[in-house]
Structure 1
Amino acid sequence: MRLVQFKMPDGSRQVGRVSKDGDHLHPLKATSTVLELAEAAIARGVSIATLVEERTTAEKIDYDQLLREGRVLAPVDHAEPARFLVTGTGLTHTGSAAARNQMHVLTHGEGAAESDSLKIFRMGLEGGKPGAGKIGIQPEWFFKGVGTCVVPPGAPLPMPAFAKAGAEEAEIVGLYLNGPDGHPYRIGYALGNEYSDHVTEGENYLYLAHSKLRSCSIGPELLIGDLPNEVRGHSRITRNGAVIWEQEFLSGEAHMSHSIANLEHYHFRYPMHRRPGDLHAYFFGAAVMSYASGVQTASGDEYEIQAPTFGKPLRNRMEKVSDEGLVTVTQL
């Protein structure tokens, strides 16, 4: 079961259930946002799938037309964007560990001691899947931004003038809502482009936090229910209509060094991440990335991330934005 948030021509919002053919949406009765749907499910003590079954209509809307017209929204959002926290983890897939270590080699040479990146990746392999009811090893974690950093499917991904680069990271994203008592509930999963500045990160590992403070995109579809143990997909970059890089990725717990439950524990163990009513998007890490293949992206490049599990692909074009210059602070 997959859902899409979208706008009608008059600007009103709706949530649709993806049809069996994948090309149409069945609008849900009395449902304008996924957040409303999740809140109703928590209040009634039922699954989101139960509510979707009750609310699905027979009406059909052309899904491809919505995408062409830029009316598809991110799978979840919040009326107060500051209450939508966007975070993530890395070094959960073999590809991400190899890419991170390559940055270390480029900086320090082939004979350098094992990098902290490989150390934490090995720690995950040894203790990241502790089994039900147990706590495993702590993963890497980073802050990406708040709801204002999430751009809809099809919208441009801005590259700041101060950025050294901008490149895709094809990932699965967990989407969550904290209930009225602060207990976290998983709404579902979506594809995401975590989009980072790997050149800045490669200059010094302590710049990782800066390299992650960028926009990202999620969607277009929200997967309700369990995530398959294996998710296969591809990540692709096109420039002027020609593919300049493409690679298959493997994700899901079968290809991760941490269980999703372990990642969730270490995120939500902090009381500040369990504020009632807050939304969370948590990127689970990338398996492949063009930067690790030596690709230098440019303004105008289009990123495409696709996996059959998640329906339609996520596409965004990178767009360089003007230089804001020196940012100053005024004394009050």
Structure 2
Amino acid sequence: MITAELREDIAALEDTVRRFARERIAPNADAWDQAQGFPRELYREAAALGLLGLGYPESLGGTPAPYALRNAMSVALARHGGSGGVMASLFSHNIGLPPVLRHGTEALQREVIPSVLRGERIAALAITEPGGGSDVAALRTTARRDGGDYVIDGEKVFITSGMRADWITLAVRTGEPGSRGAGGISMIVVPGDTPGLSRTQLHKMGWHASDTAHLRFDGVRVPARYLLAEEGAGFKIIMSNFNGERLAMSAMALGFCEACYDEALDWARQRKTFGSALVDKQVIRHRLMDMKMRIDATRAWLASVTVMADEGRLEADPECVAQVCLLIDPAANNLNFSDPP
């Protein structure tokens, strides 16, 4: 339930995010796309505003916050910053750190999380592989126990923040050699400066400002204390992590839809044909209203799912999980407004 106090907090956060996005992201988005990345200082700037720490415990340098606040931040950044690439890398810690927060030891949490929330270090999640894509059950990267260490061999692809990540939350197979399926999958944290880790920058069709990499692990040795939970618990950890990721992406998609609508409406007001502005023509007004109707429907759906998430249902309630999975498809598809004005 959104209280009057929470509404005030959301409004204040949206104002902060709007100014940050308009002043620091939007004016530089094209240049950062051409440069294939954005300055590392942006992490520290976002951290100073408290944006990186939303949803994390105070004891680790964060600010506890409901999903209602976190989603409001995502919507505002997408709407006023207009760069999915910047958002993907700037907030890659929100997919890389939750497994550490939920399943890492207290010592590991204190080693990894605070510096990331301060914008001093970068965290990434590495699951996707060249042969199986995001089919988690098909992953082949292995981690074998050797004394007090794990030795990792394999590769990952399309890893956001992969080129400069200081901490990589990695999905590996710790089961029997050659095993497949959901069993035997584990999660382990890999420091970015570990010998045997190599990185290749990937060039994409879009989101050029997002640091995206192909990672290779050749005999990478990490202490066993970097294992999250226990061996074989990885599949469940990953599936749970996907729920939060889908919810955040739905909020981003809504923000981008609003940005598209803002630009379409602005253009329709400026563009003159046959003596009048496009917005004065009925067919254009109908199209704009169709866009707004779909945006408002998505906003209401997101709000409903957000309430469920803030009730603690995102991790285990099948209905909430189903709603998140259903939500992300139309939220993203709304970006494909056909025949814009």
TM range (shorter): under 0.3
TM-score normalized with structure 1 length: 0.28
Report the structure number with the largest CA radius of gyration: 2
TM-score normalized with structure 2 length: 0.27
Q: Which has the higher strand share?
A: 1
Q: Which has the higher helix share?
A: 2
Question: Which one has more relative contact order, counting CA pairs under 8 Å at least 6 apart?
Answer: 1
